[in-house]
Structure 1
Amino acid sequence: MPRVSIGLTATAAAAALLALAGCSDDGATDRGVAAATTTATSDTRVVAPGAPGETADVIAPGEEFEVVEGGYSELDVRFVEQMIPHHRQALQMAELAQERAQDDRVVLVADRIVAGQGPEITALESWLEQRGLPVPAADAAHDHALPGMISPLQLEQLENTTGAEFDELFLTYMSQHHAGAVEMADPMIVEGTDQLAVEMATDVSVTQGAEIGRMREILDSL
């Protein structure tokens, strides 16, 4: 039977979370929500896109089809909630460049990071809020165990450095930081369940991957 996927409303997703929250096989908390599936009858001819690499289904008038609504996994939730503090540290680092950087190219890279990741944080926070999930507090300590996160000592180095030395440290640490974000995003692109979360992961991987290349070019030319 053909299937059509549509999104759950925020209210429905939150209700499903309360009803279906449980534990995964390894005993860890599983905050995922199973997709809701209903059956409907088509009034007109409809083409339902297939999954990547699959052909589309054609639903004829009068034919029954499955409607798959929403659903997201623990992987989706962890990616979104961990990318928020990851982005916040990137903003903290980038904002230092406005007063400390010497090379105009470094300032431009930092400005693009602020312009891009600021709105992304808002989108990530909205994703959690719409599903009734808590948003990491703005004053919460960064989880330095996340891939690419710099240590408090490294951040202090940036804060206490200016000029050419700052430029080199910033490009080195931000390249490391971006590489960690790509490392976090790539599994989501393959295994993520929620379409919006997968799209955000794809944007992180593509955008920050390109920025890594640009920062390495600048670093090599210093």
Structure 2
Amino acid sequence: MKRTIVLRRALLTGATLSALLLATAACTDDDMAGMDHGGRSPNATASESAHASAGAVNDADVMFAQMMIPHHRQAVEMADLAPTRANDAELKDLAAKIKAAQDPEISTMTGWLTGWGKPTAAPEGHAMPGMGTPMPGMSAAETGIPGMAGMASEEQMNKLKADMGSEFDKLFAQMMIAHHKGAIDMAKTEQTDGSNAEAKALAATIEADQAAEVQTLQRILDRL
């Protein structure tokens, strides 16, 4: 009799344990139902969706990066001439700042285009909507990049490379003012038409920084 009671108790204990295990498993399954296949909660998914939206890219973003890269490269090329050809100390200092700012921005925009799966060069014949006109006295064709506002022609670059001292200083200031104004036009267009948050933020920085540099360049030019 005692043996039968003990056996029954053992069976009941086992059944209770099984029920508890099944309930635990059910809770685990319910918890997992609130997760996506990557093990993320609904809140994490919503957060990632918001991030994806902030990183959305449209044609204006792509064109901005594709056009600003060669634009920056020419500014850096001009700035590289200043240490050995310029006479004005303030102009030399500003040229160094231009190079220090625009070199990293070239790398940033190149990285964006690669990440977006887009070519780093704009298709031939494309121009950024809303851009201004090329440098005074120069046709769009002379820039080598139609519609690229402020870009210096090969002839102008050759003259800058040949000048020294105060002549270099004057031409550099004139060319960089026009160059910066072209970049400002492009940056304004990106802020209006672009979609990518990072690209628009960079465009705002370019507009503000280069507008300040235009004022400095004009002050230098006025006293040369």
1:98 to 44, 61, 83: 83
From the two aligned structures, give the one with the greater helix fraction. Answer: 2
Give the equivalent residue in structure 2 for 1:136: 121
Q: Percent identity?
A: 38
Number of residue-to-residue matches in the alignment: 160
Question: Distance in 2 between the 1:65 and 1:107 partners?
Answer: 47
Q: How far off its partner does 1:190 sit?
A: 2.2
Q: Per the alignment, in what secondary structure is the counterpart of residue 67 of structure 1? A: helix
- Match in the other structure for 1:89: 74
In angstroms, what is the RMSD of aligned CA positions?
2.2
Which structure 2 segments of 5+ residues have no match? 1-40, 123-142
Q: How far did residue 42 of structure 1 move?
A: 4.7
Could you tell me which residue of structure 1 aligns to residue 109 of structure 2? 124
SS of 2:49's partner is strand
Alignment of 1:1-222 (within 5 A): 42=43, 67-68=49-50, 69=52, 70-136=55-121, 143=145, 145-222=147-224
**In the alignment, is the contact (CA less than 8 A) between 2:87 and 2:165 conserved in 1?**
yes
Point out the structure with the larger strand share: 1
SS in 2 for 1:193: coil
Q: Distance in 2 between matches of 1:216 and 1:94?
A: 16
Query: Per-residue deviation at 1:199?
Result: 0.8
What is the distance in 1 between the residues matched to 2:201 and 2:112? 12
Which portions of structure 1, spanning 4 or more consecutive aligned residues, are displaced by more than 4 angstroms? 40-43
Give the greater-gyration-radius structure (CA): 2
Shift of 1:142: 5.4
Q: Gaps spanning 5+ residues in structure 1: where?
A: 1-39, 44-63
Per the alignment, in what secondary structure is the counterpart of residue 148 of structure 1?
A: coil
Given that 1:182 and 1:208 are in contact with CA atoms closer than 8 Å, whether structure 2 keeps it comes out as yes
Displacement of 1:135 in angstroms is 1.9
